[in-house]
């Protein structure tokens, strides 16, 4: 049986506990935004926090002493995801994911916003995404860069909208630059709507 526990004062989820007694715990900022998420899953099979282990990746079992010092559901041994916000706007600017047995370094996702509070760029270990908006705040283009061993792969998703704010088309366009491995790709999906605002058709390279 799974149990959900909520903070009495705020109504926010504070813990999700599973039948084995382990669970995920949540803490929040004064504004009610996620501050930290302590996962039910421990950091690994060492029983020692990743940053404290002098021999990371080499231990294959947990000694009785280590298990007692760092039980699987203790805060010291659990994976923690942390969230950081802009002090002035409260906008999310970073999510930090912890190191694990399979990933030895911490992973971060960072966000940048424009003056209207919209997400302008998102950057992580795999690459980045940048967004263009129209006057109504709808995404017109998403510029994607993916890091690969052969070099960056770049492509753009272009979007158009009807006067009522319905999706009109999505066009995928790859960038082909000299010396870059980005493929020359092009694909478009178009949508039409009836007088009642219902989706009438979807057209792509595969047909309508």
Count H helices and E strands in the chain, helices first. 1, 14
- Nearest Cα residue to 81 out of 36, 43, 40: 36
| Between 72 and 111, residue with greater pLDDT | 111
* 175 in a structural domain: yes
> 77 and 161: one domain?
no
Single residue among 94, 114, 134 that ends a domain in this structure: 114
Dump pLDDT digits (tens) for 92-122: 999 999 887 777 788 999 999 999 999 999 9
> 66 and 96: one domain?
yes
> 62 and 26: one domain?
yes
> 11 and 90: one domain?
yes
Single residue among 114, 147, 175 that ends a domain in this structure: 114
Which of the four pLDDT bands, split at 50, 70 and 90, describes residue 53? very low
Mean pLDDT of 30-41: 91
> 140 and 91: one domain?
no
Q: What angle do CA 110, 116, 117 make, to 5 degrees?
A: 30
> 13 and 56: one domain?
yes
Mark 91-117 as b/e (b = at least 16 C-beta within 10 Å).
Answer: ebbebebbbbeeeeeeeeeebeeeeee
**The domain spanning residue 69 has which CATH number?**
2.40.128
Q: The pTM is what? A: 0.73
* 39 in a structural domain: yes
* 153 in a structural domain: yes
**The domain spanning residue 156 has which CATH number?**
2.40.128.720
Provide the sign of the torsion angle of the four alpha carbons 36, 40, 41, 47, taken in this order: positive
* Exposure on the CB side of residue 132, measured as CA atoms within 13 A: 10
96's enclosing H/E stretch is strand 92-97
- Nearest Cα residue to 105 out of 123, 124, 128: 124
> 106 and 132: one domain?
no
| Domain housing 184 | 126-208
* 120 in a structural domain: no
Tell me the β-bridge partners of 28.
34
Mark 137-162 as b/e (b = at least 16 C-beta within 10 Å).
Answer: eeeeebbbbeeeeeebbbbebbbebe
Q: What angle do CA 121, 84, 140 make, to 5 degrees?
A: 20
Q: Is the pLDDT of residue 62 over 50?
A: no
> 70 and 93: one domain?
yes
Q: Are 93 and 85 in contact (CB under 8 A)?
A: yes
Q: Which residues contact 55 (CB under 8 A, 6 or more apart)?
A: none
* 98 in a structural domain: yes
Q: Is the pLDDT of residue 76 over 90?
A: no
Single residue among 45, 80, 114 that ends a domain in this structure: 114
> 82 and 130: one domain?
no
| Domains in the chain, number | 2
Alpha-carbon gap, residue 142 to 128, rounded angstroms: 10
Length of the chain: 208
Q: Which residues contact 75 (CB under 8 A, 6 or more apart)?
A: 25, 38
**What pLDDT score was predicted for residue 148?**
87
């Amino acid at each position: 049986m799974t149990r959900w526990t909520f903070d009495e004062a705020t109504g926010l989820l504070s813990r999700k506990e599973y039948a084995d007694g382990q669970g995920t715990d949540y803490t929040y900022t004064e504004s009610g935004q996620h501050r930290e998420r302590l996962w039910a899953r421990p950091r690994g099979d060492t029983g020692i926090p990743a940053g404290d282990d002098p021999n990371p990746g080499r231990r294959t079992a947990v000694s009785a002493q280590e298990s007692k010092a760092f039980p699987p559901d203790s805060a010291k041994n659990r994976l923690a995801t942390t969230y950081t916000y802009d002090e002035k706007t409260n906008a999310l600017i970073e999510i930090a994911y912890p190191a694990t047995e399979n990933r030895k370094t911490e992973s971060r996702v960072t966000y940048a916003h424009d003056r209207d509070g919209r997400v302008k760029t998102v950057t992580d270990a795999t690459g980045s995404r940048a967004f263009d908006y129209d006057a109504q705040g709808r995404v017109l283009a998403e510029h994607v860069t993916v890091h690969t061993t052969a070099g960056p792969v770049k492509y753009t998703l272009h979007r158009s909208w009807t006067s009522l704010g319905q999706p009109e088309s999505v066009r995928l366009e790859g960038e082909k630059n000299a010396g870059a491995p980005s493929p020359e790709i092009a694909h478009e999906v178009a949508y039409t709507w009836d007088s009642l605002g219902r989706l009438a058709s979807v057209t792509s390279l595969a047909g309508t």
